[in-house]
């Protein structure tokens, strides 16, 4: 199985990513990261605001719904994190009593042609054994405009296991929709080491911000790194 460092370093422009991992010490964490190529994409940062982690403008005050959004929110049972406005939608559904699978249904990809960026979302249970459910709304490879919606539930992660979803896969020049998910191994023993592993593996030319979240503490306790 690919190690997490090699997996991230080999994808020169992953876009945004969600990750759930169990460290070698046995603790389960979620991670979210942003990379960008344009000046507008790079003018962003991650900010904790109560039970939410927000992707906000780094300097400008103008709001852009595709670039500025709630990236993580904790409900009574789940830590929800992802790459767009669907995070709030999924969290609201969970608060209203929807199941994990149902909360991730009926979503769509971003309206940003020609790329049509996937909406990727992770649900991490706040209590042991910390169940993990991923959702992705991806564009079809055919001419069909409706989304392909995938839901992935994992069994309990073993120490060192990591599951990653990114929006893109790229050699640094060509950009394509990423595979539905990738499994990897992490050498991290703590949340801080996991953040270091993720951050140091991302291209320094594209990385913007990254966070590692403890499901019990939620966004208020996030460990953050930014360019």
Reduced to 3 states (helix: H, G, I; strand: E, B; else coil), residue 208 is strand
Place of tokens 């300097």: 59
Distance CA 131, CA 137 (A): 20
pLDDT band at 138 (very low <50, low <70, confident <90, very high): very high
pLDDT score of 38: 85
pLDDT in the model for residue 63: 60
Please report which confidence band the pLDDT of residue 90 belongs to, taking 50, 70 and 90 as the band edges.
very high
Share of the chain above pLDDT 70, in %: 96
When pLDDT is averaged across residues 158-184 and rounded to a whole number, the result is 95
Kindly report, residue by residue over 93-108, the tens digit of the pLDDT.
999 999 999 999 999 9
Instruction: Provide the domain limits for residue 65.
Output: 4-226
CATH number at residue 215: 3.60.20.20
* Residue/partner pairs of 38-44 with CB below 8 Å, 24 or more apart: 40/64, 40/67, 41/67, 41/208, 42/208, 42/227, 44/68, 44/208, 44/209
pLDDT class of 196 with cuts at 50, 70, 90: very high
Residue 66 has pLDDT above 60, yes or no: no
Q: What local confidence, expressed as pLDDT, does residue 67 receive?
A: 67
Each residue's pLDDT tens digit, 30-64 = 999 999 988 877 888 999 998 899 998 877 666 66
Q: In what order do the strands lie in the sheet with 52-57?
A: 44-49, 52-57, 69-74, 78-82, 119-125, 132-138, 148-154
Number of domains in the chain: 1
User: What is the rounded average pLDDT of the residues 165-184?
Assistant: 94
Judge contact between 44 and 71, C-beta under 8 A.
no
């Amino acid at each position: 199985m690919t190690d997490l460092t090699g997996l991230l370093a080999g994808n020169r422009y992953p876009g945004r990513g969600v990750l759930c991992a169990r460290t070698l010490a046995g603790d389960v964490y979620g991670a979210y990261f942003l990379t960008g190529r344009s000046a507008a994409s790079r003018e962003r940062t991650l900010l904790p605001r109560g039970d939410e982690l927000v992707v906000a403008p780094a300097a400008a005050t103008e709001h852009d719904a595709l670039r500025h959004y709630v990236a993580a929110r904790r409900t009574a049972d789940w830590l929800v994190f992802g790459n767009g406005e669907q995070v709030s939608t999924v969290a609201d559904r969970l608060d209203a009593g929807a199941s994990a699978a149902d909360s991730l249904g009926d979503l769509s990809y971003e309206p940003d042609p020609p790329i049509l960026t996937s909406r990727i979302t992770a649900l991490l249970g706040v209590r042991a054994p910390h169940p993990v459910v991923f959702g992705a709304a991806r564009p079809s490879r055919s001419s069909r405009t409706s989304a392909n919606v995938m839901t992935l539930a994992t069994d309990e992660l073993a120490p060192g296991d990591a599951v990653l979803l990114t929006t893109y896969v790229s050699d640094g020049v060509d950009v394509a929709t990423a595979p539905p998910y990738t499994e990897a191994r992490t050498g991290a023993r703590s949340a801080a080491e996991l953040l270091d592993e993720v951050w140091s593996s991302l291209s320094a030319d594209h990385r913007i911000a990254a966070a590692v979240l403890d499901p019990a503490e939620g966004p208020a306790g996030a460990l953050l790194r930014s360019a």
